[in-house]
Structures are given as structure tokens and as C-alpha cells.
Amino acid sequence: GWKVVEGRANRAYTNEDEVATALIKAGYEEPLLYDRKLLGITAMEKVVGEKKFGDLLKDLIIKPQGKPTLAKEDDKRPAITNADMAFSGVEVEEE
């Protein structure tokens, strides 16, 4: 008994430049319309350089454990056991 349904969708602008232009024309100040955001890790690595990035930020970067996912048997990643899941906080249903 399964069926396919439409998932949740997030609203998006069709054209960010036109949105900004319309709001500026309506009297909103440009600094109010934009967020100042630090570059993501990959983009920052390109700006700083891979080696220097590692030297400067190695203690400030984390790589969290990935969520369990299904993969084909020949996938190179090791299988997760129930014991692995028990220590990671993932609930496991016993069969």
C-alpha cells in the first residue's frame, strides 16, 4: 500500500535582479535586501588555496557523519551494522 505524492516545495524568485530592482524602486534600501555571507568551504578553498586553507582552518572544519542511505552491494563504502547505528543515535527497527 504505497502511493506517490507531491513533496514539499519551497518558494523561489524567478529573477533575483528584477526582485531587487522592484524593491529599490519601491523605496527599500539595497543593504536591507542582501545578506552578507561567508563563502562555503569549496569556494573558500579556491580563494585561499587548498594547502593554505588546510593550514589555517584545519581546527575549524568538521565533517559530520552522513545519514544512512541505501546503496548497491558493490558500493565501496562499508556497510553500517545495527551496532554502528546504536552508537550514532539512529533508531533501528528489529525484524
Q: Is 29 domain-assigned?
A: yes
Residues 6+ apart with CB under 8 A from 30: 20, 24
Q: Is 7 domain-assigned?
A: no
Write down the pLDDT at residue 87.
64
pTM for the full model? Answer: 0.50
Of 18, 50, 16, 52, the C-alpha closest to 35 is: 16
Q: Is 2 domain-assigned?
A: no
Residue 17 has pLDDT above 90, yes or no: yes
Write down the pLDDT at residue 89.
62
Q: Is 61 domain-assigned?
A: yes
Instruction: Dump strand ranges (E) for the chain.
Output: none
| Spatial separation of the C-alpha atoms in residues 21 and 9, rounded to whole Å | 25
Q: Is 6 domain-assigned?
A: no
Residues 6+ apart with CB under 8 A from 84: none
Q: What is the pLDDT of residues 29-39, one digit of tens each?
A: 999 999 999 99
Domain count, the chain: 1
Q: Which domain holds residue 27?
A: 16-88
Q: What is the pLDDT of residues 41-70, one digit of tens each?
A: 999 999 999 999 999 999 999 988 888 888
